[in-house]
Amino acid sequence: MTHKIAILGASGYTGAELVRLIAEHPNMEIAALSAERKAGQTMAEVFPHLRHLELPVLCKINEIDFSQIDLCFCALPHKTSQEVISALPNDLKIVDLSADFRLRDPEAYEKWYGNPHSALEQQEEAVYGLTEFYRDQIKSARLVAGTGCNAATGQYALRPLVEAGVIDLDNIILDLKCAVSGAGRSLKENLLHAELSEGYHAYALGSTHRHLGEFDQEFSAIAGRPVKVQFTPHLVPANRGILATVYVHGDAKVIHDTLSAAYDDEPFIQMLPMGEAPSTRHVRGSNFCHIGVVADRTEGRAIVIAALDNLTKGSSGQALQNANLMLGEEETTALNMAPLFP
Amino acid sequence: MTHKIAILGASGYTGAELVRLIAEHPNMEIAALSAERKAGQTMAEVFPHLRHLELPVLCKINEIDFSQIDLCFCALPHKTSQEVISALPNDLKIVDLSADFRLRDPEAYEKWYGNPHSALEQQEEAVYGLTEFYRDQIKSARLVAGTGCNAATGQYALRPLVEAGVIDLDNIILDLKCAVSGAGRSLKENLLHAELSEGYHAYALGSTHRHLGEFDQEFSAIAGRPVKVQFTPHLVPANRGILATVYVHGDAKVIHDTLSAAYDDEPFIQMLPMGEAPSTRHVRGSNFCHIGVVADRTEGRAIVIAALDNLTKGSSGQALQNANLMLGEEETTALNMAPLFP
Amino acid sequence: MTHKIAILGASGYTGAELVRLIAEHPNMEIAALSAERKAGQTMAEVFPHLRHLELPVLCKINEIDFSQIDLCFCALPHKTSQEVISALPNDLKIVDLSADFRLRDPEAYEKWYGNPHSALEQQEEAVYGLTEFYRDQIKSARLVAGTGCNAATGQYALRPLVEAGVIDLDNIILDLKCAVSGAGRSLKENLLHAELSEGYHAYALGSTHRHLGEFDQEFSAIAGRPVKVQFTPHLVPANRGILATVYVHGDAKVIHDTLSAAYDDEPFIQMLPMGEAPSTRHVRGSNFCHIGVVADRTEGRAIVIAALDNLTKGSSGQALQNANLMLGEEETTALNMAPLFP
Amino acid sequence: MTHKIAILGASGYTGAELVRLIAEHPNMEIAALSAERKAGQTMAEVFPHLRHLELPVLCKINEIDFSQIDLCFCALPHKTSQEVISALPNDLKIVDLSADFRLRDPEAYEKWYGNPHSALEQQEEAVYGLTEFYRDQIKSARLVAGTGCNAATGQYALRPLVEAGVIDLDNIILDLKCAVSGAGRSLKENLLHAELSEGYHAYALGSTHRHLGEFDQEFSAIAGRPVKVQFTPHLVPANRGILATVYVHGDAKVIHDTLSAAYDDEPFIQMLPMGEAPSTRHVRGSNFCHIGVVADRTEGRAIVIAALDNLTKGSSGQALQNANLMLGEEETTALNMAPLFP
């Protein structure tokens, strides 16, 4: 059986990544692609790398007949996403890639995103889309909220450790190195090649990045007490990849064992042997997340390093993984491709 | 039916690329991987991006039982390749990715590669592996010689034009821009990141690049007279991609029509609309070749531009395409993945 | 004696490059910096790499008292530049970096730039700023028109050859590879890091690039007959550099001799030994232009390759070189710094 | 008066960087350049970007008449450096860029570098070359030991804080992001462009990097008690730059004030306004170090970020700064050039 798929916001990088992945799916068919400002253009015009595919012409959202759609991916900006989704049919399966339904507490949403939430009903039913930890709920969910790409990376490194109580919850530092596609296809001076290449810097300083809302929500829920990590992202001159270097207080061997046990059966989370470190180049273009653990020379301190591709495992790959579950497909379908290296 | 595959020289980039592609093939199984100097290591050690795959440990060639192998890819250096292949079983299907069997004339081989050919028997039976133009012979071939990546790019731009007689054969200039993975995983100073990034230059100046041997052989054969093109490759700071800007004397419209007709049914060759130019970023990691044609302001002059990924369509993708034909598989199997962008 | 300098359009890359260079000049003082939209900001805010310098705050052009200025650099967009310059004092020395005064024929200007010229008086007195060939006129000029960066590169490779009559004027092909800073600090999708890095492509196809106006004007004037070259620029993933690969019909030895003789006394033009090719990485950040000559295997054909930094020798370095001449300074002052490698 | 300068190990990146800088020095003359394996070659052959300079041909060390040399820079590998320096004249002024004389304790040297020190006499007289903190001793030193580039960056962020006692000495984490030129011009697989570009990773995990020897020595000496920081370097795809993100326990305002006071008169250390972060692109090719301070959302935690160019301020620029002091020159001579951006 072929599922009919719509992608809203198909002219951005996560939209294009969804098309790339779904094109290999034996049981999905892309039935509609929306892009308000580029409606009427073909995907080949907007993304020439997809010119070999037969795809619907880009349209406006209100031109889509959603009664013919089995599942809809929303790759729209936050705030726009909640407005659009609240107007979609109540029984339409949706995977949202925006930030709009990640935070369960409307006040937390408003604090981190600056505007009151306008789709509280949908917010309530949304399931947090970190597949490995919400798998059962996702299977029966109507609306799944894709996680932030940084939030996913940090959680893969930390969730089993918070849950097992093997690290000090008051001394967690996440130093992230992020590639530029995470900022989207937006026209900002600091995203120009001439500005970004050949240099790197920290941003969202002092733990002010919005993805902290997700860390706070998830780690506190697991721990049963407030957990507030430190988190500094850095922008590096590469197109894809997030590398999270996580500094914790705890025993490295116990940490490695805990993570290994937690991810033993996971198809996409790969634990490296003790002492080895992952590289973003080795997960590029794939749905895999590589995790390494190392003991520091200072007794009782350890470093956990996680690497994934922000557009795939951190966003569109995760979205497809969740859609597979929601549609009763094999979870890994169309997601097993090897990373592209070099 | 599952074909058992061996890859000789699996520790280089074309070897790794073969593994990446074959991993998605429903009817191929990698049964042996050789790498003389890295024998005993796992592929995960040599190429961590492949760590999710179950693969044989790297071995030496003489440890492989070729009676169990249906098809063997040779991704060895030239000269080594002919020595190895001449010692392999006479009935083993082989796709060679080296330069050793591309030139039919042993004197031409010696002229361009500097050593006399030591496997003349195999050279004689080898079929030139430019799939779109040797498809029928490849189907029944035992030994197929993969083309040079630059040679493939230039031929895609020019072969139908030479054949149709629509360009001046004495005024053909190929200006190629090549990414660095074409130089392989070799330890040379000029391939270091600090040397190569942030700059670009021409090399193999004055039409001295070895791939000219292939241009001379093929274009002269088609034209029925000697054809000697000018060819200058340039190394640019990117990992994958070849862009051939080809300057010809001829009518642009006729040229576009001729190429369009020639490639109309080809699954991997995509003609762009008249006046548009391809980009290497839009074929990256894929088996597609994009071709554009433009009229120059000078009457009777045209520019043909072809772009492909040197490791995929220019090398390992072509090799798998040929192997599919040799094994009776669908030609495009495991080769339809979309390019990786951004 | 210290010359008071104004830079109009200081918030762009050529403006910042002028500040970088002039900061080392013993006899120049930056007295005014304009940037209409960023007026009121400091240069440290707009270009943090210049934060160590004491510089005037950015202002609007009409806030500058030009009676206190000895020489004014205009780094404004074309069309804006002519409007601004026609309103400046008649006796103010000006080096214009825009395209507005490069073409002597108003019709040619309108053809290539799309608008009628609105400062014909100034256009008439403007001297073309290719220092090595207009040195004497520049010394006594009031208004010097900086050349296009691509136009400069191509002319360094070709002017002495056109003048000496040692190449066929009807068979000149310039294949240029340009870094991205030449496009300026403008917000365009194709200049984003995620779009540009890891790929390259041709643009302004079919000899339609505006710098052809300069080639046509200059080569035809030298030759005493119309000369129309073919010219295809390519955008490559690097920040600085232009590499011109020029295909000509002529004797390589004669060509090398002709260029060597022409540039023998030039402080910034470096001829490489016969057969060697330059690289953009070896002129990066400097005012040098490296030129190489190679014979093709086809008798009577040669390749001339020129490399320079588009922001320095191709633009702001050239501008300062001309300003030095106009102000009676040593031509090379503040321009001798070595390239930055790696 | 012109000082005659020798550079030993001129075929590496720090050697070339010294030449680039000294070429602008009015009172220094490069009298000898050594490179054992490339003796007999010109610098133009080894580093074409320096071809405009008149320089001595590369020679072997034993061909240099050191009685004619006023100051000698040693840019040799560690271990080699101590062997060479112990054989040089006892009264020759030397700036060593290797690791050989950085650690005052021979046991510490052996621990971090794996071999017993063979020039203990010279080790004893060597002055640690972090100019801003050893200025007076450097002025009268005969032998100055250039610091590690990572060690310099971390110390600029931390020394005044350790000295002032405003941070918790047992909770210091340095997360460094390093460009590739710091690894030198060595032929290693992981330094190839195809390996390094488009990805990034941590190395020297668990605080095992050799530059920790310097941190331990210096911080412990200042604090008067053992201080052991955590330090994880990461390799990012850029050629120049080190960014140190330093996580400390302390009051951000006090920290910013302490650093600002310490560096107020320093010509090359630039404090950013509170809350701003530096970028490596804004110090590239220069001798400046930019430092920013930010408060974390967690009370009592702060982040200090320092950026410098590893080849300039982190190595050859520092070396020239020290040489200026040793020779009685103005400390900043030939070191004021602005960074190269973009």
DSSP A227-282: ---EEEEEE-S-SS-EEEEEEEES-HHHHHHHHHHHHTT-SSEEEPPTT---BGGG
Q: Which amino acid is at B18?
A: L
Instruction: Say which CATH class D150-309 falls into.
Output: alpha beta
* Closest to A268 in 3D by CA, of A283, A258, A253: A283
Any CB–CB contact under 8 A between C191 and chain D?
no
Cβ <8 Å between C337 and D286: no
The whole-angstrom distance between D161's CA and the closest CA on chain C is 23
Average pLDDT for A305-319 = 98
Q: d(Cα A91, Cα C85) in Å, to the nearest integer?
A: 64
Could you read off the pLDDT of C110-127 as tens digits, one per residue?
999 999 999 999 999 999
Helices A149-164 and A131-139: crossing angle in degrees, nearest 10, is 100
Q: Which amino acid is at D296?
A: D
Catalytically active residues of D are 149
Which phi and psi angles does C294 have, rounded to 5°? -145, 140
With a cut of 90, say whether residue C270 has pLDDT above it.
yes
**Count of Cβ atoms closer than 10 Å to residue A260 Cβ:** 17
Could you read off the pLDDT of B238-282 as tens digits, one per residue?
999 999 999 999 999 999 999 999 999 999 999 999 999 999 999
C-chain CB neighbours of B296 within 8 Å are 206-207, 230
Least CB–CB distance from B199: residue in C195, C208, C281: C281
Q: B250 and B300 in contact (C-beta within 8 Å)?
A: yes
Q: C159 and C167 in contact (C-beta within 8 Å)?
A: no
Question: What is the domain partition of chain C in residue ranges?
Answer: 3-146+313-326, 150-310
- What tokens were used for C271? 């001829």
Q: Given the structure tokens 């979205």, which residue do they identify?
A: A319
With a cut of 90, say whether residue D117 has pLDDT above it.
yes
- Judge residue A90's burial from the number of C-beta atoms within 10 Å of its C-beta, 0-12 exposed, 13-18 middle, 19 or more buried: exposed
Cβ <8 Å between D194 and B239: yes
Average pLDDT for C232-240 = 98
* Closest to A156 in 3D by CA, of A209, A215, A224, A208: A215
* Closest to D284 in 3D by CA, of C342, C192, C304: C342
Any CB–CB contact under 8 A between A300 and chain D?
no
Average pLDDT for D87-113 = 97
Average pLDDT for B311-320 = 98
User: Torsion angle of alpha carbons A129, A134, A140, A143, nearest 10°?
Assistant: -20
Catalytic option among A59, A72, A149, A289: A149
Average pLDDT for B50-71 = 98
Any CB–CB contact under 8 A between D342 and chain B?
no
Instruction: Report percent pLDDT > 70 for chain A.
Output: 100
With a cut of 90, say whether residue A1 has pLDDT above it.
no
The whole-angstrom distance between C165's CA and the closest CA on chain B is 21
Q: C131 and C124 in contact (C-beta within 8 Å)?
A: no
Which phi and psi angles does B329 have, rounded to 5°? -85, 165
* Closest to D150 in 3D by CA, of D73, D234, D224: D234
* Closest to B338 in 3D by CA, of B278, B287, B289: B287
Could you read off the pLDDT of A225-234 as tens digits, one per residue?
999 999 999 9
User: Hey, which CATH number is domain C3-146+313-326, 3.40.50.2000, 3.40.190.10, 3.40.50.720, 3.40.50.300?
Assistant: 3.40.50.720
Cβ <8 Å between B340 and A279: no
Per-residue confidence at A244, pLDDT binned at 50, 70, 90?
very high
Residues 6 or more apart whose CB falls under 8 angstroms from that of B170 comprise none
Q: d(Cα A227, Cα A131) in Å, to the nearest integer?
A: 22
Average pLDDT for C227-231 = 98
Reported as type and span, the H/E element at residue A293 is: strand A289-295
Q: Searching chain C, which residue's CA lies closest to the CA of residue D46?
A: C282
The pLDDT, as a whole number, for residue C1 is 80
Q: d(Cα B218, Cα A66) in Å, to the nearest integer?
A: 54
CA dist list (Å): D171 to A301, D229, D334 = 11, 7, 39
Which phi and psi angles does B84 have, rounded to 5°? -65, -45
A-chain CB neighbours of C193 within 8 Å are 180, 191-193, 195-197, 237, 239
Could you read off the pLDDT of A42-95 as tens digits, one per residue?
999 999 999 999 999 999 999 999 999 999 999 999 999 999 999 999 999 999
Q: d(Cα B318, Cα B287) in Å, to the nearest integer?
A: 7
Query: DSSP states of C269-298 as a string?
Result: EEEPPTT---BGGGTTTSS-EEEEEEE-SS
Q: d(Cα B199, Cα B237) in Å, to the nearest integer?
A: 7
- Classify C334 in phi/psi space as left (phi over 0), alpha (psi -120 to 50) or beta: left
Instruction: Report percent pLDDT > 70 for chain B.
Output: 100
Reported as type and span, the H/E element at residue B80 is: helix B80-86
CA dist list (Å): D286 to B268, D26, D44, D312 = 48, 18, 23, 6
Reported as type and span, the H/E element at residue A127 is: strand A127-128
Query: DSSP states of C113-132 as a string?
Result: HSS--S-HHHHHH-EE--HH
> For residue D137, how many C-alpha atoms fall within 13 Å in the half-sphere facing its CB?
13
Three-state secondary structure call for residue A181: helix
Tell me chain A's radius of gyration from C-alpha atoms.
Answer: 19
Average pLDDT for C128-152 = 98
Q: Searching chain A, which residue's CA lies closest to the CA of residue C241?
A: A194
Residues 90-149 of chain A whose Cβ lies under 8 A from any Cβ of chain D: none
The pLDDT, as a whole number, for residue D1 is 80
Q: d(Cα D249, Cα B94) in Å, to the nearest integer?
A: 64
Least CB–CB distance from A239: residue in C181, C191, C198: C198
Three-state secondary structure call for residue B252: helix
Instruction: Report percent pLDDT > 90 for chain C.
Output: 99
* Closest to A314 in 3D by CA, of A152, A129, A156: A152
Q: d(Cα B53, Cα A339) in Å, to the nearest integer?
A: 11
C-chain CB neighbours of A195 within 8 Å are 185, 193
Q: B130 and B154 in contact (C-beta within 8 Å)?
A: no
Which phi and psi angles does A288 have, rounded to 5°? -90, 150
| DSSP-derived pairing of the beta strands D242-249 and A143-145 | unpaired
The pLDDT, as a whole number, for residue C107 is 96
CA dist list (Å): C211 to C53, C179, D107 = 34, 16, 65
Q: d(Cα B102, Cα B100) in Å, to the nearest integer?
A: 6
The pLDDT, as a whole number, for residue B1 is 80
B-chain CB neighbours of A13 within 8 Å are 342
Strand-pairing partners, residue B231, are B174
- CA A14 to chain CA centroid, Å, is 10
Q: d(Cα D320, Cα D138) in Å, to the nearest integer?
A: 12
The pLDDT, as a whole number, for residue A278 is 98
Q: d(Cα C72, Cα D26) in Å, to the nearest integer?
A: 29
The pLDDT mean for chain A works out to 97
CATH of domain A3-147+313-326: 3.40.50.720
Average pLDDT for A293-316 = 98
Q: C93 and C70 in contact (C-beta within 8 Å)?
A: yes
The whole-angstrom distance between D220's CA and the closest CA on chain C is 32
The pLDDT mean for chain D works out to 97
Cβ <8 Å between C193 and A237: yes
The pLDDT, as a whole number, for residue D199 is 96
Average pLDDT for D42-48 = 97
CA dist list (Å): B147 to B128, B135, B202 = 7, 14, 22
Q: D193, D210, D281, D290: best mutation site toward chain A, by most A Cβ within 10 Å? A: D281
Any CB–CB contact under 8 A between D206 and chain A?
yes
C-chain CB neighbours of D286 within 8 Å are 49
A-chain CB neighbours of C188 within 8 Å are 187
CA dist list (Å): A122 to A9, A103, A104, A142 = 19, 12, 10, 10
Any CB–CB contact under 8 A between A290 and chain B?
yes
Q: What is the ipTM of this complex?
A: 0.97
Burial A115-129 (b: 16+ CB within 10 A, else e): eebebeebbeebbbb
Cβ <8 Å between D340 and C338: no
Strand-pairing partners, residue D60, are none
Alpha helices in A102-207 (DSSP H): 106-113, 120-125, 131-139, 149-164, 193-196
User: Hey, which CATH number is domain A150-310, 3.40.109.10, 3.40.630.30, 3.10.20.90, 3.30.360.10?
Assistant: 3.30.360.10
